[in-house]
Structure 1
Amino acid sequence: MVVNDMLQLTVAVTLHVVCYTVYSINVSVCLLLLLLASFATMNAPLSLAAMAIERYVAICNPLRHSQICTVHRTRILIAMIWAAGLAPSASDLFILLAMQPPSFFQSSVLCYSRNIFKSQYLLYKNQASNAVYLSCVGLTVMYTYIRVLFAAKAATTDRSSAAKARNTILLHGAQFLMCMLSYVMPLVDFVLLGLFPAQRTAILFINYLIAYVLPRFLSPIIYGVRDEKFRKHLKGYLFRRSTFQKIAPANALSLKII
């Protein structure tokens, strides 16, 4: 998840810097960046669904968790997630290669998805694939959350683990809803740019922050701050730093007096 978020943010920032500085780049380079961004964006909800299933197995089938969630199976699952995320981008590439002449890939355009994928067929295909992927992920997150919620209520022992798993899946759901913003934003861009064409730069930048940057802030919270060991070291670091800042001025004052 962290690697995928790093890839997505790197490509998205590169695209925005290129659009604001160079304006137009080679179609082949733009196509590569757009496919990488689409691939990483599609991977995010699929990874959330896989992690929700892992929490479901750990709480509802704890005796079989070590047998089901092995390292080998986890690697296979990660490969399947990346293959499923790559499938829509690969199909877009093959369709574009079949529809456009070679000269198109040697030209320069403003690196925006609508300038590359102009066919209405590709638009409808992407809408259908996004609906299927997001529906499957949404149902998976909802099902695992409900099952873990019932397991937490029925548990007589180890309620803290069940409650932590329930809260984790709930945060997965919130992160999933925020990931869905990336699929809604093209429509929002179309509406806002039609209403305020003079504010194109500001609209695209603000929507980019909301749809792509903000959802990635939840990953450090879910997998960092909520971890007991990490939180302990973070508190210790912040406490020592604040103590040092308080002591340093006092030492400096005493040196001046001497």
Structure 2
Amino acid sequence: MPLCRRADLVNVQFLVLIFLCINVLLIVTICSKAHFYTTMRYMLFGVTVLSDSLILIMSDILVILNHFNVTMNIAFCVCIYITLVVFTFVTPVTLTAMTLERYVAICKPLRHGELLSSVPCIIVLSNFFATAPFSLYSQHRLCLIGIFVLLRWQDDVKLVVYQCYFLIMSATICFSYVKIMKVAKDASGEDKKSTRRGLRTLVLHSFQLLLCLIQLWCPFIENAVLQINFKLYVEIRFFDYIMFYLAPRCLSPLIYGLRDKKVSLALKQNALFGFHRPNVQNSI
């Protein structure tokens, strides 16, 4: 049964294409200015945009293949899935790092935040694929994660890892928000304005990160619904794909790119092929 109606699939293609064009322009913009690719927050933003672009492309290809029931070699599916999962975790982890960067910039400007590691996720994935029989990898099937979950403990381990990521990132967001809020109350004048702007950015990051974190729970909700009603499972799965998979990846350029004056000025210059030449250096 197809993941969605043909009209919905076409609408998704337009959405993906629009934000891919914006993301490519943002990546070119970040790489074209030394101030962007040498500043931590813009570097993190560039990583997020690049990761989101790859996810948009690869996930969209899989949705199209699954919609038309096109099978592929399981070994090739493993490579695609590993890449997708790694980049899926890159976005929330990088958003958390960007939140820490705002906290450090406002509360402790002389210190630097560190990115979290995706190693536990890779270890769990390795266990999933190692427990599957070798004959499975020579078969041709629809590329879905469910074909690799052969034992109940695999779902349990995945749930534990996802919960750990959820708790760590949620705690980081709450901690940063409380600290920045405290600084905002004590600040005055230009410092207060800058701090409140950072606080608004943090709130938007939190919303985007919340969508990413809810995505970690979607497979478990979908599996529970699958046991009850297959048609409802298909509808929920498509809704989850749009709301918690595509939407967070489309929010990055809107939340952090177009709102940033330096990025928007440079973006306008690149979009107009250099005919618009704002004084970006002075705005920096």
- TM-score class normalised by the smaller sequence: 0.7 to 0.9
Structure 2 unaligned segments of length 5 or more: list them: 1-47, 272-284
Query: How far, CA to CA, are the matches of 2:136 and 2:224 in structure 1?
Result: 29
Q: Does 1:142 find its partner at 2:189?
A: no
Task: Indicate conservation of the 8 Å contact 1:171/1:222, yes or no.
Answer: yes
Query: How far, CA to CA, are the matches of 1:214 and 1:89 in structure 2?
Result: 25
The alignment's TM-score, normalised by the length of structure 1, stands at 0.76
Structure 1 unaligned segments of length 5 or more: list them: 239-258
CA RMSD in angstroms, aligned pairs only = 2.6
Q: Report matched runs for 1:16-165 at 5 Å.
A: 16-62=63-109, 64=110, 68-69=111-112, 77=114, 81=116, 84-97=117-130, 99-157=131-189, 158-165=191-198
Query: How far, CA to CA, are the matches of 2:144 and 2:268 in structure 1?
Result: 43
Query: How far, CA to CA, are the matches of 1:141 and 1:204 in structure 2?
Result: 27
Letter in 2 for 1:88: C
After TM superposition, where is structure 1 displaced by more than 6 Å over at least 4 residues in a row?
233-238
SS at match of 1:180: helix
Alpha-carbon spacing, 1:147–1:31, altered in 2? closer, same or farther (3 Å): same
Query: How far, CA to CA, are the matches of 2:55 and 2:269 in structure 1?
Result: 32
Mark the structure with the bigger radius of gyration. 1
Task: Indicate conservation of the 8 Å contact 1:145/1:166, yes or no.
Answer: yes
**Per-residue CA shift, 1:102-160, capped at 9, x if unaligned?**
21211122221111222212111111011111111110111011100110110124111
Query: How far, CA to CA, are the matches of 1:95 and 1:205 in structure 2?
Result: 24
Alpha-carbon spacing, 1:237–1:24, altered in 2? closer, same or farther (3 Å): closer
Q: Which has the higher helix share?
A: 1
Give, in angstroms, the shift of residue 93 of structure 1.
Answer: 2.1
Task: Indicate conservation of the 8 Å contact 2:201/2:256, yes or no.
Answer: no
Letter in 1 for 2:53: M
Task: Indicate conservation of the 8 Å contact 2:96/2:172, yes or no.
Answer: yes
Letter in 2 for 1:105: Y
Q: Percent identity?
A: 26
Residue of structure 2 in register with 1:247 after alignment: none
Query: How far, CA to CA, are the matches of 1:177 and 1:109 in structure 2?
Result: 32
Residue of structure 2 in register with 1:15 after alignment: 62
Alpha-carbon spacing, 1:86–1:28, altered in 2? closer, same or farther (3 Å): farther
Alpha-carbon spacing, 1:226–1:127, altered in 2? closer, same or farther (3 Å): same
Give, in angstroms, the shift of residue 235 of structure 1.
Answer: 8.8
Task: Indicate conservation of the 8 Å contact 1:56/1:148, yes or no.
Answer: yes
Residue of structure 2 in register with 1:6 after alignment: 53
Residue of structure 1 in register with 2:214 after alignment: 181
Task: Indicate conservation of the 8 Å contact 1:27/1:105, yes or no.
Answer: yes
